[in-house]
Amino acid sequence: MLSITLPAGAFLTAWGFLAMNVATPGPNVLNTIALAIGSGRRAGLGAALGTALGITVWSLGMVLGVSALLATVPVARTAMTLVAIVLLLWFSSRYLRAARSGLIARRRREPPAPAGRSGVSLQGGLLRSLSILLANPKALTTWLTLTAIFPVARAETGDVALLCLGACAIAGGIHALYALAFSTPPAARAFLRAAPLINLGVGLFFGGFALALAISLARPI
């Protein structure tokens, strides 16, 4: 039987970071909403399943790869923490810029709903979402940051399995909610109107997270 050795806080921190990245408006979120509007909730749920599968591939590949790296080069942990700080600051600045642009655009006009994509089946939605996620550079930077936040070097097989299962459930669940809740143009427009405030909150959170990591790195052991 697989055992869980890491504290709950390690998983909650990693999952919280992932959830914020998955939930914020981006190519995958807009794809899920567009499919739900144009081809119905079944296609949108296919996109949610594709997102869950793509996140699972990224999580297994990155966690196992980083685990092997840390076992070979222990000092890489400090380097990865520095990388995480830089990436968090980059994420923060990107979301804050998106929030500013969104607030300016919202004052000028109502945000349009994403153009619906018609004639897409559940399987088509799955494959479309999976291809977008696997080719998305944001996914790579997200998992580079997450593997620096999560204590990969101390993780046992059960910890890795739980992390990946949780990531899969979170990503798929968020996109399934989007497919069900925002499958009509008015609902999608309401979501997009709220997007600048979502981006603002996420940007501030990531900036604070980077500061906390920097403080922990500077603190003497």
7: pLDDT confidence band, cut at 50, 70 and 90? very high
Which domain covers residue 111, as residue numbers? 9-218
Alpha carbon dihedral 44, 45, 47, 48, in 10-degree steps, equals 130
Number of domains in the chain: 1
Q: What is the pTM of this model?
A: 0.79
Q: What is the mean pLDDT of residues 124-149?
A: 84
- Residue 67, domain member (yes or no): yes
In contact, 147 and 93? CB cutoff 8 Å: no
- Residue 69, domain member (yes or no): yes
Mean pLDDT across the chain, nearest whole number?
84
- Residue 4, domain member (yes or no): no
- Residue 38, domain member (yes or no): yes
17: pLDDT confidence band, cut at 50, 70 and 90? very high
In contact, 178 and 54? CB cutoff 8 Å: no
